[in-house]
């Protein structure tokens, strides 16, 4: 027995030595093991290889769980420092790795990364469950929560304790052991299916690109867009042909210009049928099961539907509130859309189909406003819009300046990096811009971070924006539509929210706010795209740098309320469809996707054959793989707030440093450190009202007398 004990002891020593050697080797070869030496701990993309991700994620979870176990089993009584702050400091390796991996899995993926994502997503879900369903850990959190008002905590710390307790409860911390086991299984399945859904949509979007044999069929498209289509065909080894790739929405940009009705129909059907056909990228069964298991999961958590669960910690609070906001706008929206459809049918001289709407809407806009989208694009060169528009507005409002950095590595040659300087000249953030589409990038546009700001951890923000603008052929300018211009301002509004974050704790940083508040800063920033001073500064001809003629400026401004019946209609259809899927009961059987979608649109009186939802169910990535389940309404809810806030600016002189500084200090810098409704009320002096939204949407006369502006002094 003694000999056996000696052997076991030596084996234990040998194992420990080998583990130390392995860890040392890992530290030398894996760029995630230690904080990046680059400015702001920016990711060292010149060193990162696909093979680095999985070991770092696995090691990160291992270390994170060890840290959590130490906190949960701490023999000392729970305190804010040894429990809440300790959790805020835990998991640095996992956070550092996941921030890069999952962002690139959306913007620059490949087969190996997709395989890693499929394997690691369920494990990461289990990792989260092991934290939130740990009874010892929750007992410590709850003990601090119960005495939070007597701990002499500052307001941010008190709110952090509130958030922790709420997050644990919403994650199932109060469930029985049996229900926790069931919940874990449902979470695992949801994670797996969501990953599969995203990958199927990405693959089918790429596979559904339309190949055009003859240049004559592209009549109506600009020379630069035709050159870009030829370049994409060349990239796919289709010399002499043209490729029209798809964006994530149902309608496609090319449909505005193409004269060929047959080609418009082909593109529209390719777009609208993504994921809705037999084959490897069919998403219908995934959607069926995701809706069902979400309903089952939330029943365990004490909610009637997933929407009720989801909105419980949002500003809207209940599905009924969100649905009413949208439903109240349906009658006017449908009436406006039908009115415009009749005008377009007169113009077309025939019955319209959904693939005709964008084309004839453009013709009608030309007729009503003498507005030509192709002509307008000549004045929107991407780099000028960025420097003389987006950056210019940020300078006027907040005093920011930007310097492009060519010494910081990027993950794709199209990506650019800028250092951001505050009004006092001090550097305070990095910002990455990844604007052009490519086959391995998910559709749409978004903002995220590689590094979150945190005073506790001594971290400053590293933020990025992603879009899917058409990449021009070599030597050609990147001319974009005014819709794309608006997208640039929108996503940069998110970026400002992340860069201006000035909070202590990582959980509360930047855009860590409710979904129906997170779109507020981004949609607010869109307004500056059409501000007279800003617009004049960037809207210049790409060849001559001549200012856009006043007549064309007026046409663009006057046409902004044009086609609102369609624009709002396709949005409401998608948002109400989202609510339909997430208000099914836990006992609902698997549903047939197309039948359910049609029935839902009919139930909400938003079924319009000429105006399909912005996203059909089978490629609605926002809700099945993007964190917006029962939350797509948030864009409209945030619009209500952002229009109201913009009218505050209009009432007080508009684009001024004084106004910008107030907005920065009272909204953009606060992250999720306080209740968003109270935050907005302090800024505005009252709750938001709907009048500005209706006016901006053209659903109410602009001369409607708005309520008098209250004093700017915040309520105590």
Q: Do residues 204 and 280 lie in contact, with contact meaning Cβ atoms separated by under 8 Å?
A: no
* Band (174; pLDDT cuts 50, 70, 90): very high
* pLDDT tens digits, 18-30: 444 444 455 568 9
- Three-class SS state of 574: helix
Per-residue confidence (pLDDT) for residue 1, from 0 to 100: 41
User: Is 491 one of the catalytic residues?
Assistant: yes
Task: Compute the distance between CA of residue 57 and CA of residue 116 in angstroms, rounded to an integer.
Answer: 10
* pLDDT tens digits, 411-464: 999 999 999 999 999 999 999 999 999 999 998 999 999 999 999 999 999 999
Per-residue confidence (pLDDT) for residue 407, from 0 to 100: 97
Per-residue confidence (pLDDT) for residue 368, from 0 to 100: 86
* pLDDT tens digits, 493-547: 999 999 999 999 999 999 999 999 999 999 999 999 999 999 999 999 999 999 9
**Both tokens assigned to 48:** 């990162």
Residue 432, beta-bridge partner list: 417, 464
Q: How far is CA 103 from the centre of its chain?
A: 11
Task: Compute the distance between CA of residue 712 and CA of residue 652 in angstroms, rounded to an integer.
Answer: 10
- Using the 8-state DSSP alphabet, how is residue 149 labeled? G
Task: Compute the distance between CA of residue 317 and CA of residue 308 in angstroms, rounded to an integer.
Answer: 8
For residue 4, pLDDT beyond 80: no
For residue 75, pLDDT beyond 90: yes
Per-residue confidence (pLDDT) for residue 711, from 0 to 100: 35
Per-residue confidence (pLDDT) for residue 29, from 0 to 100: 87
* Band (346; pLDDT cuts 50, 70, 90): very high
Task: Compute the distance between CA of residue 461 and CA of residue 42 in angstroms, rounded to an integer.
Answer: 9
Nearest to 134 by CA among 63, 181, 72, 67: 72
Task: Compute the distance between CA of residue 306 and CA of residue 584 in angstroms, rounded to an integer.
Answer: 8
Mean pLDDT score, 41-59: 98
Per-residue confidence (pLDDT) for residue 5, from 0 to 100: 39
Q: Do residues 99 and 449 lie in contact, with contact meaning Cβ atoms separated by under 8 Å?
A: yes
* pLDDT tens digits, 229-261: 999 999 999 999 999 999 999 999 999 999 999
For residue 41, pLDDT beyond 80: yes
For residue 195, pLDDT beyond 70: yes
Q: Do residues 242 and 233 lie in contact, with contact meaning Cβ atoms separated by under 8 Å?
A: yes
Phi, psi (deg, nearest 5) at residue 459? -110, 140
Q: Do residues 116 and 58 lie in contact, with contact meaning Cβ atoms separated by under 8 Å?
A: no
Per-residue confidence (pLDDT) for residue 28, from 0 to 100: 62
Residue 462, beta-bridge partner list: 430, 451
**Both tokens assigned to 183:** 């919940």
How far lies 698's CA from each of 54, 344, 532, in Å? 51, 19, 19
Tell me the pTM: 0.90
CA atoms within 13 A on the CB side of 607: 12
* pLDDT tens digits, 668-688: 999 999 999 999 999 999 999
* pLDDT tens digits, 356-392: 999 999 999 888 887 788 899 999 999 999 999 999 9
Burial profile 314-326: b = 16 or more Cβ within 10 angstroms, e = fewer: bbbeebeebbebb
Task: Compute the distance between CA of residue 345 and CA of residue 365 in angstroms, rounded to an integer.
Answer: 14
Phi, psi (deg, nearest 5) at residue 270? -60, -40
- Three-class SS state of 420: strand
Minimum mean pLDDT range among 340-349, 426-435, 704-713? 704-713
Q: Do residues 239 and 223 lie in contact, with contact meaning Cβ atoms separated by under 8 Å?
A: no
* Band (11; pLDDT cuts 50, 70, 90): very low
Which of 88, 491, 526, 639 is catalytic? The answer is: 491
* DSSP secondary structure letters along 80-112: IIIIIIHHHHS-HHHHHHHHHHHHHHHHS--HH
In Å, the largest CA–CA distance within the chain is: 99
* Band (561; pLDDT cuts 50, 70, 90): confident
Q: Report the share of the chain in percent with pLDDT over 70.
A: 94
Q: Do residues 534 and 393 lie in contact, with contact meaning Cβ atoms separated by under 8 Å?
A: yes
Share the mean pLDDT of the chain. 93
Residues 6+ apart with CB under 8 A from 202: 109, 440, 442, 443
Minimum mean pLDDT range among 311-325, 484-498, 701-715? 701-715
For residue 154, pLDDT beyond 90: yes
How far lies 618's CA from each of 113, 266, 271, 614, in Å? 23, 18, 11, 12
Lookup result for tokens 């009320």: 681
């Amino acid at each position: 027995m003694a000999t056996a004990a000696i052997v076991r002891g030596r084996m234990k020593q040998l194992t420990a030595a080998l583990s130390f050697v392995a860890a040392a080797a890992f530290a030398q070869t894996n760029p995630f093991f230690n904080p990046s030496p680059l400015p702001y701990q920016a990711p060292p993309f010149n060193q990162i290889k696909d093979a680095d991700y999985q070991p770092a994620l696995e090691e990160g979870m291992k270390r994170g769980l060890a840290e959590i176990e130490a906190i949960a089993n701490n023999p000392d009584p729970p305190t804010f420092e040894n429990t809440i702050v300790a959790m805020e400091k835990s998991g640095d390796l996992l956070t550092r790795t996941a921030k890069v991996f999952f962002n690139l899995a959306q913007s620059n993926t490949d087969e190996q990364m997709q395989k890693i994502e499929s394997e690691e997503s369920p494990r990461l879900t289990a990792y989260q469950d092991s934290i939130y369903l740990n009874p010892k850990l929750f007992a410590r959190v709850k003990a601090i929560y119960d005495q939070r008002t007597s701990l002499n905590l500052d307001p941010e710390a008190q709110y952090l304790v509130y958030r922790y307790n709420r997050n644990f409860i919403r994650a199932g911390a109060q469930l029985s052991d049996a229900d926790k086991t069931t919940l874990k299984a449902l979470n695992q399945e949801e994670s797996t299916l969501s990953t599969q859904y995203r990958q199927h949509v990405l693959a089918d979007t790429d596979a559904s690109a339309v190949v055009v044999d003859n240049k004559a069929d592209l009549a109506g498209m600009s020379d630069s867009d035709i050159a870009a289509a030829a370049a994409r065909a060349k990239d796919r080894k289709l010399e002499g042909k043209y490729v029209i790739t798809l964006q994530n929405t149902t309608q496609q940009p090319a449909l505005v210009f193409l004269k060929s009705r047959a080609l418009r129909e082909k593109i529209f059907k390719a777009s609208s049928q993504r994921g809705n056909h037999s084959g490897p990228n069919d998403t219908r069964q995934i959607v069926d099961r995701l809706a069902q298991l979400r309903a089952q999961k939330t029943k365990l958590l004490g909610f009637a539907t997933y929407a009720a669960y989801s909105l419980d910690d949002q500003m809207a609070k209940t599905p009924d509130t969100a649905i009413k906001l949208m439903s109240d706008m349906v009658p006017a929206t449908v009436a406006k859309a039908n009115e415009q459809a009749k005008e377009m049918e007169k113009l077309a001289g025939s019955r319209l189909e959904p693939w005709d709407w964008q084309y004839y809407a453009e013709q009608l806009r030309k007729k009503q406003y003498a507005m030509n989208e192709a002509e307008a694009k000549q004045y929107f060169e991407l780099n000028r819009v960025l420097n003389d528009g987006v950056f210019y507005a940020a300078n006027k409002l907040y005093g920011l300046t930007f310097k492009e950095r060519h010494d910081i590595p990027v993950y794709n040659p199209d990506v650019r990096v800028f250092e951001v300087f505050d009004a006092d000249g001090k550097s305070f953030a990095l910002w990455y811009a990844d604007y052009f589409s490519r086959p391995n990038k998910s559709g749409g546009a978004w903002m995220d971070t590689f590094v979150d700001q945190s005073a506790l951890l001594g971290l400053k923000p590293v933020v990025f924006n992603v879009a899917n603008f058409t990449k021009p052929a070599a030597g050609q300018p990147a001319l974009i539509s005014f819709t794309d211009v608006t997208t640039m301002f929108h996503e940069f509004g998110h970026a400002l929210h992340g860069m201006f974050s000035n909070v202590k704790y990582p959980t509360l940083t930047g855009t860590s706010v409710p979904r129906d508040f997170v779109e507020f800063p981004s949609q607010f920033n869109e307004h500056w795209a059409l501000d007279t001073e800003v617009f004049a500064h960037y809207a210049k001809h790409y060849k001559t740098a001549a200012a856009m003629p006043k007549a064309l400026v007026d046409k663009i401004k006057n046409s902004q309320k044009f086609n609102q019946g369609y624009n709002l209609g396709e949005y409401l259809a998608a948002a109400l469809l989202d609510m339909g899927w997430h208000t099914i009961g836990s006992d609902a059987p698997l549903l047939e996707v197309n039948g359910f979608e049609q029935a839902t649109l009919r139930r909400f009186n938003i079924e319009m054959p000429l105006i399909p939802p912005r996203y059909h169910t089978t490629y609605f990535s926002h809700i099945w793989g993007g964190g917006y389940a029962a939350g797509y309404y948030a864009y409209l809810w945030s619009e209500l707030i952002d229009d109201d806030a913009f009218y505050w600016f209009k009432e007080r002189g508009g684009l001024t440093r004084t106004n910008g500084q107030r907005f920065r200090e009272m909204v953009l810098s606060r992250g999720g450190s306080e209740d968003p409704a109270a935050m907005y009320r302090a800024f505005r002096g009252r709750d938001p009202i709907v009048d500005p939204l209706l006016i901006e949407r053209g659903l109410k006369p602009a001369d409607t007398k708005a309520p008098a502006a209250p004093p700017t002094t915040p309520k105590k």
